[in-house]
């Protein structure tokens, strides 16, 4: 079974910030989870390099758009291994192979009769690189996202007959639930039922873009070129051969609500216009916000300048801690505020204490009381009952991209294991030779519980879980089928190795 997952491709007009890392980590958690399920995963991310915003930023900096794109694309590309993203390819829309495929695709749209020439006039946001419809304009003709004045623009260009897809899109929303969560599905549907207008497809003024094959004086409007990355990448980014047939349509697309309209309305219409299958699912997450001086939560964005630098956080606390924090603090799908203080507090109480300390204590007790060999005893049935069907719950939630909820279920078991230590007080059992069998059961149960949560946490915190699995002397890997309580160890007494330094050292 194949699982093809994407993130938005990021604009190269500025450096990456935590908001970009967030989408990519979310997609990475799902990609890793599906690999644990043995699926043929293809995970794509990359950069969106054409269009007005990049051309404008380059002009401001006195470099060519290509120079700016190369410089900033390199920073995004470097971010990926740093956040432990396991993307299989990094697409850059300035890649000539992408351009060729965009042209071929759009030529099909043209030949199928969905393109015409016309005059466009409207309010345009140069940062969004988008003309705004009436209900998207904030007070004083400003952009509601970027809070800058909109430009009144008029030009002759090519149009995409979006209106021709009114019925098919209404039908799509009447018969599927392809956009999640439901609030975003409703938003997209309302946009469609409000009546679709044709959208402009090319730019005459701009040169930084993909040339329109039937009219080389124009370049494609950046969104047409950008959305197609999800499709073009399969022909040259998925190995030696063209894998479009195997991997299209895409299984799951992750994005935030700022670009909902493009993905949930225009994108399916483009695919219909070319006769291609539609994505199976879009999952729309919310914004990471930061509290401003007035106590208001504001979207973290480069244009507002209120960004957390993911590199700094990772330098201090490690990549896994950042991956954990983002999805613990902010429910995937909703907006939520992040802060350095919030991060430090969860690091301390949850990562260092709940999980790190549980791991250190369990291993230290096995070392001390059983000379480092995990006892081959039957695990405690009462504890086993509390782990019953946990793997299925997690799989079920992650099937719906409920990353935060799945993490919460796993963490309930981490806490359960901590309570188990307190209830059983192994240090007391160790003092009484008659309790030796009981102590075996307790130590084995702790090691087993720890192993199960560690398999399930692997997608979230790949480095930490690898390390802990090694320290537990387990070599069974991370296949999801092994996330059953009672299915580890048994055949050979696993030898533990003390964790030094601890998984999450106190800062």
310 and 301 Cβ atoms separated by less than 8 Å: no
| Pair type for strands 151-160 and 199-200 | antiparallel
- Rounded-to-integer distance, Cα 208 and Cα 120, Å: 20
* Of 306 and 490, CB closest to ligand MSP: 306
* Of 9 and 395, CB closest to ligand MSP: 9
326 and 338 Cβ atoms separated by less than 8 Å: yes
| Residue 451 CB, nearest approach to ligand MSP (Å) | 33
Q: What is the contact surface with ligand MSP in residues (CB under 6 A)?
A: 8-11, 19-20, 22-23, 48, 226-227, 255-256, 258-259, 287-288, 299-301
Instruction: Give the containing element (helix H, strand E) for 284.
Output: strand 282-285
* Of 93 and 362, CB closest to ligand MSP: 93
Tokens of 430: 């160790």
Q: Which residues contact 23 (CB under 8 A, 6 or more apart)?
A: 7, 8, 254, 255, 256, 285
DSSP code of residue 142: B
Instruction: Give the containing element (helix H, strand E) for 206.
Output: none
| Residue 481 CB, nearest approach to ligand MSP (Å) | 32
DSSP track, 65-116:
HHHHHHHHHHHHHHHHHHTT---SEEEETTSHHHHHHHHHHHHHHHHTT-EE
Q: Which residues contact 101 (CB under 8 A, 6 or more apart)?
A: 228, 231, 232, 235, 236
DSSP code of residue 43: E
| Residue 337 CB, nearest approach to ligand MSP (Å) | 11
Q: Which residues are catalytic?
A: 17, 20, 125, 128, 143, 146, 299, 302
- How long a stretch of residues is the chain? 507
How many other CB atoms sit within 10 Å of the CB of residue 288?
25
* Of 26 and 426, CB closest to ligand MSP: 26
**Helix (H/G/I), strand (E/B), else coil: 121:** strand
| Residue 267 CB, nearest approach to ligand MSP (Å) | 8
* Of 16 and 356, CB closest to ligand MSP: 16
* Of 334 and 507, CB closest to ligand MSP: 334
């Amino acid at each position: 079974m194949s699982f093809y997952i994407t993130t938005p491709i990021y604009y190269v007009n500025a450096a990456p910030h935590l908001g970009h890392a967030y989408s990519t980590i979310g997609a990475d958690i799902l990609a890793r989870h599906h690999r644990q399920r043995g699926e043929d995963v293809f995970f794509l991310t990359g950069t969106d390099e054409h269009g007005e915003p990049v051309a404008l930023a380059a002009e401001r900096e006195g470099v060519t758009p290509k120079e700016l794109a190369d410089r900033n694309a390199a920073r995004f590309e470097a971010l990926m291994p740093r956040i432990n993203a396991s993307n299989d390819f990094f697409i850059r829309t300035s890649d000539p192979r992408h351009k060729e495929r965009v042209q071929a695709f759009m030529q099909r749209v043209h030949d199928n009769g969905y393109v015409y020439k016309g005059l466009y006039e409207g309010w345009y946001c140069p940062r969004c690189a988008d003309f705004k419809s009436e209900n998207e304009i904030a007070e004083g003709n400003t952009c509601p996202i970027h809070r800058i004045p909109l430009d009144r623009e008029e030009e002759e260009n090519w149009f995409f007959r979006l209106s021709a897809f009114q019925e098919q899109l209404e039908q799509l929303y009447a018969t599927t639930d392809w956009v999640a969560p439901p609030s975003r599905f409703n938003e997209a549907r309302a946009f469609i039922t409000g009546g679709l207008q044709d959208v402009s497809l090319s730019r005459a003024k701009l040169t930084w873009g993909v040339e329109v094959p039937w009219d080389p004086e124009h370049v494609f409007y950046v969104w047409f070129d950008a959305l197609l990355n999800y499709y073009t990448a399969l022909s040259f980014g998925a190995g030696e051969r063209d894998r479009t047939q195997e991997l299209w349509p895409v299984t799951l697309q992750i994005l935030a609500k700022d670009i909902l309209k493009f993905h949930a309305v225009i994108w399916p219409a483009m695919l219909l216009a070319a006769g291609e299958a539609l994505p199976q699912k879009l999952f729309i997450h919310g914004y990471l916000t930061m509290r401003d001086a007035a106590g208001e939560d504001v979207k973290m964005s480069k244009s507002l300048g209120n960004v957390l630098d993911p590199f700094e956080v990772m330098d201090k606390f490690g990549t896994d801690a950042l991956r954990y924090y983002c999805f613990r603090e902010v429910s995937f799908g909703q907006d939520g505020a992040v802060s350095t203080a919030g991060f430090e507090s969860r690091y301390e109480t949850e990562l260092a204490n709940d999980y790190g300390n549980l791991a250190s204590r369990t291993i230290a007790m096995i070392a001390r009381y059983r000379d480092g060999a995990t006892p081959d005893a039957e695990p405690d049935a009462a504890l086993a009952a509390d782990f019953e069907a946990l793997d299925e719950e997690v799989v079920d939630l992650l099937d719906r991209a409920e990353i935060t909820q799945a993490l919460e279920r796993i963490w309930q078991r981490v806490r359960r294991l901590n309570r188990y230590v307190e209830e059983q007080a192994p240090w007391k059992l160790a003092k009484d030779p008659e309790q030796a069998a009981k102590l075996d059961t307790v130590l084995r149960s702790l090691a087993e519980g720890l192993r199960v949560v560690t398999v399930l946490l692997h997608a979230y915190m790949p480095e930490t879980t690898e390390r802990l699995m090694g320290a537990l002397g387990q070599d069974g890997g991370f296949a999801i089928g092994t996330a059953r309580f009672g299915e580890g160890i048994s055949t050979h007494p696993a030898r533990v190795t003390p964790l030094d330094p601890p998984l999450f050292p106190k800062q």
